[in-house]
Amino acid sequence: MAQPKIEALAIHPDRAAAEELDARDPLAFTRARFSVPEGVVYLDGNSLGALPTGVRAAVLDAVSRQWGQDLIGSWNGNGWWTLPERVGDRIGALVGAAPGQVICGDSTSVQLFQALTAAARLRPDRRVLLTDASNFPTDQYLADAVARLLGLEVRRVDPAGLKVGADVAVVALSAVDYRTGELWDVEAITRQAHAAGAVVVWDLCHAAGVLPVDLDGVGADAAVGCTYKYLNGGPGSPAWLYLPHRHQPVADLPLTGWMGRADPFGLAGAYEPAEGVARARIGTPPVLSMVAVEAALDVWDGVDPAAVRAKSLALGDLLITLADGLRTDGVTVVTPREGRRRGSHVSLRHEKAYELCQALIARGVVGDFRAPDLLRLGLAPLYLSYADVWDAMRALAEILATKEHEAPRFRRDQTAVVT
């Protein structure tokens, strides 16, 4: 059968140019540190990172030897007890936090609740909590929950026009918009909030592992992030909390579990917080997931974070250039084009974004969909190549040209929703 003529495939640079970029990529060596299925172009690392090759052996050892043979002795003998601080410090190194300020464990929701409540209690004379009106739903729900608990007023704002009044206790924002990939100026917003006397809580779920965040340098008051996106810790892997040294002695955390007590094995009836960031421990950490996260962080050995950011931007530039060739097919780029305003995913708008996403997945190009009309394509520099991006956009061009996405099997009422 003759192949259809597809004008949209006359896109530049061509694949040879993409291959040349791969040949000169200083991060090309890191792709071998991941298990990406053959024939798959994975553009959903902003939802769930790919499997690092070292994780399987680490988890197997934790199950078969540490748990299976060493049993309860593993808490000390195999370092289970120190996992939250140990993993926390390794994550801290990726987000500009000196040792002793990051703890890992529990879910993103729990860590957000901890951070928001403790931050608000630092300004007991103020009654307003600002959050992004387009923030991820959990961030908004928890802002409302903390407000009910503490008698605060939540105001939903646009970070682009942020104004912080004298009544604002906390500014709680995500560094990167989860829908559009827009990157906010973390340093400038933190400085503005501090000038008004407020404290700032940053959600770095879409930033940690791909952006050069400097939490200590910008003077952030608290931050949280997950480990299953660009940190590749696996589905449901635990989140982390940043609590700087200057706030640790006075931080009034709402969840006071026994592992965060000064002497947890004293088993006293009254709570006395531990010194340092250990006070942010709550209960028993999810050891198997923590072991996976610790092994996953090995992919950063010998990696220059500046090179990661540079490749992220270059991949995004290529994707946007190729997407511009699809304008006549109803595709528009939603993500800011300027590198300083862009995270590490690019969102494309199309009225049939859901169907396009499903058609791409059927071809082995895995992205995701956000209602009502966004096709979201994540760019994980450690395992994604320039040729991958070119191949993905070629597939999209072919689907649009042949109207493949209009097949009944790709309709939203026929297919499971992409999460």
Whole-angstrom CA distances from 155 to 144, 159, 207 are 10, 12, 24
> What is the maximum span of the chain, computed from C-alpha positions, in angstroms?
78
How many CA atoms, within 13 angstroms, populate the side-chain half-sphere of residue 41?
24
DSSP 353-387: HHHHHHHHHHTTEE-EEETTTEEEEE--TTT--HH
**Exposure pattern of 305-327 as b/e (b: 16+ CB <10 Å)?**
beebbbbbbbbbebbbbbbebbe
Q: Contact at 8 Å (CB) between 54 and 293?
A: no
Q: Contact at 8 Å (CB) between 297 and 91?
A: yes
CATH number 3.40.640.10 given to 82-300? yes
Please say if 376 is a catalytic residue: yes
Please say if 203 is a catalytic residue: yes
Q: Of 89, 139, 177, 203, which one is the catalytic site residue?
A: 203
Alpha helix (H) residue ranges in 207-246:
215-218
Instruction: Tell me the Ramachandran region of residue 273: left when phi exceeds 0, alpha when psi lies from -120 to 50, beta otherwise.
Output: beta
Instruction: For 151-192, write each residue's pLDDT tens digit.
Output: 999 999 999 999 999 999 999 999 999 999 999 999 999 999
Distance CA 48, CA 227 (A): 9
pLDDT score of 47: 97
Distance CA 181, CA 407 (A): 29
Q: Contact at 8 Å (CB) between 349 and 369?
A: no
Q: Contact at 8 Å (CB) between 204 and 111?
A: no
Q: Where in the chain is the domain with CATH 3.90.1150.10?
A: 7-51+304-410
Q: Of 33, 90, 121, 229, which one is the catalytic site residue?
A: 229
pLDDT score of 413: 72
Distance CA 76, CA 81 (A): 6
Give Cα 313 distance to the centre of its chain: 16
Helix, strand, coil shares of the chain, percent, nearest 5, are: 45, 15, 40
Q: Of 376, 388, 394, 410, which one is the catalytic site residue?
A: 376
Distance CA 28, CA 22 (A): 7
Distance CA 378, CA 380 (A): 6
- Letter for the amino acid at 319? L
pLDDT score of 412: 86
pLDDT score of 8: 39
Could you give phi then psi for residue 2, rounded to 5 degrees?
A: -70, 140
Kindly report the pTM of this predicted structure.
0.94
Q: Where in the chain is the domain with CATH 3.40.640.10?
A: 82-300
What is the CATH code of the structural domain delimited by 7-51+304-410? 3.90.1150.10
CA nearest to 255, candidates 275, 237, 281, 274: 281
- The 10 Å Cβ neighbour count of residue 237 is 25
Distance CA 199, CA 18 (A): 44
Could you give phi then psi for residue 76, rounded to 5 degrees?
A: -100, -50
Distance CA 140, CA 276 (A): 29
Provide the token pair at 52.
């690092």
Q: Of 34, 42, 113, 136, which one is the catalytic site residue?
A: 136
Please say if 228 is a catalytic residue: yes
pLDDT score of 14: 85
Distance CA 213, CA 186 (A): 8
pLDDT score of 398: 96
Q: Which residue, chain included where needed, has tokens 């704002």?
A: 157
Q: Of 42, 113, 178, 228, which one is the catalytic site residue?
A: 228
Distance CA 131, CA 137 (A): 11
Instruction: Tell me the Ramachandran region of residue 50: left when phi exceeds 0, alpha when psi lies from -120 to 50, beta otherwise.
Output: beta
Question: In the chain, which stretches have pLDDT less than 70?
Answer: 1-13, 414-419
